[in-house]
Every structure is written in structure tokens, then in C-alpha cells.
Amino acid sequence: MAKLTPTDSLYKTLTHLAETIDERANGNTSDQPSYTAKLLSAGPSKCAKKMGEEAIETVLAIASESDQEVADETADLLYHLFVALRSRGISLDSVGESLAKRQGMSGIVEKQNRTNS
Ligand SMILES: N=c1c2ncn([C@@H]3O[C@H](COP(=O)(O)OP(=O)(O)OP(=O)(O)O)[C@@H](O)[C@H]3O)c2ncn1[C@@H]1O[C@H](COP(=O)(O)O)[C@@H](O)[C@H]1O
């Protein structure tokens, strides 16, 4: 069974994807029609709906489909998550900051802190 820890190439791939989505948001679509630009121009609700569809497909794949289907559906979900974040103008750095704050804290302790405040 493969471990979860990624190689450096995933960082490059995700960064390239985020850069491409930013470019599409800024109107740089080369000479091809852009699905990303079309989705972003429809606004956050449409982006959220597409992300929800991909999330359900990923859940179904994890429950009962092949490893390759899970990887493919997860790739779709990550793409649509990035587009949905961009549609709201929320940076991946702000997501990273939220994750970093939780590092080293057990999820059970974090939940207790939340419910006590
Ligand atoms: N990673 C992706 C990616 N993953 C999924 N998709 C698209 O997401 C769509 C989802 O499938 P659906 O069948 O639900 O789409 P649909 O029915 O056409 O969509 P709606 O009409 O419901 O909006 C498909 O059109 C996929 O091609 C993606 N589209 C683009 N990218 C990346 O974004 C880059 C820029 O793409 P463009 O903006 O199209 O140039 C590409 O080079 C890729 O790196």
C-alpha cells in the first residue's frame, strides 16, 4: 500500500495548476476556449455546485471503485476546489495558515477548544 506523503513533483503540479487558474481568472486563456474561465465567470455558487458534484463522485469512488478511479476523481475534486477558492478570492496560503495553526494539535483537543469557546 502506497504511503500518503507526496514527492516534490506534486508541489510543482499543484502550483502550476493554481497559476493556470489565476491566469484564467485574469483573462489569459491563450487562443483556446477555457473551461476554468467559463466556470469562474458563472460565480462562486456555480463553482461550489461543481465542486460538490466532484466531491460526491470522489466519495463514491473511495467507497467502491478502483484505485485509479479514486486518483482521477480526487484530481477532479482538487481542480474544482482550487477554482471554487479562486472564485471567492481565497488564497491557498490562507488555507495553509489554517492548517499550520493546527499542526501538532490532536483533532480531539482542537474540537474541545472549539466547543469550550
Ligand atoms: N485539471 C483540470 C480539470 N479537471 C477537470 N476539468 C474539467 O471539469 C469538467 C467537469 O466535468 P463535467 O462533465 O461535470 O463538466 P460539464 O458537464 O462540461 O460542466 P458544466 O456544464 O456542468 O459546467 C470537465 O469539462 C473537465 O475537463 C478540468 N479542467 C481543467 N483542468 C486544468 O485547468 C487547466 C486550464 O484549463 P482551461 O481553463 O479549460 O484552459 C488545464 O490545463 C488543466 O490543467
Position 8 in a domain: no
Q: Could you give the CA distance from residue 86 to residue 21 in angstroms, rounded to a whole number?
A: 8
Closest C-alpha to 40, from 88, 92, 94:
88
pLDDT of residue 21: 97
Position 40 in a domain: yes
pLDDT of residue 46: 98
pLDDT of residue 62: 98
Per the structure, the count of domains in the chain is 1
Write the CATH number for 90: 1.10.287.1080
pLDDT of residue 28: 74
Which residue has a Cα nearest atom 9 of ligand 1? Answer: 35
Please indicate whether residue 86, judged by its CB atom, sits closer than 6 Å to ligand 1: no
Range of the domain at 76: 36-102
pLDDT of residue 73: 98
Position 3 in a domain: no
All residue ranges of the chain with pLDDT < 50 are none
Position 110 in a domain: no
pLDDT of residue 112: 85
pLDDT of residue 51: 98
Which residue has a Cα nearest atom 12 of ligand 1? Answer: 50
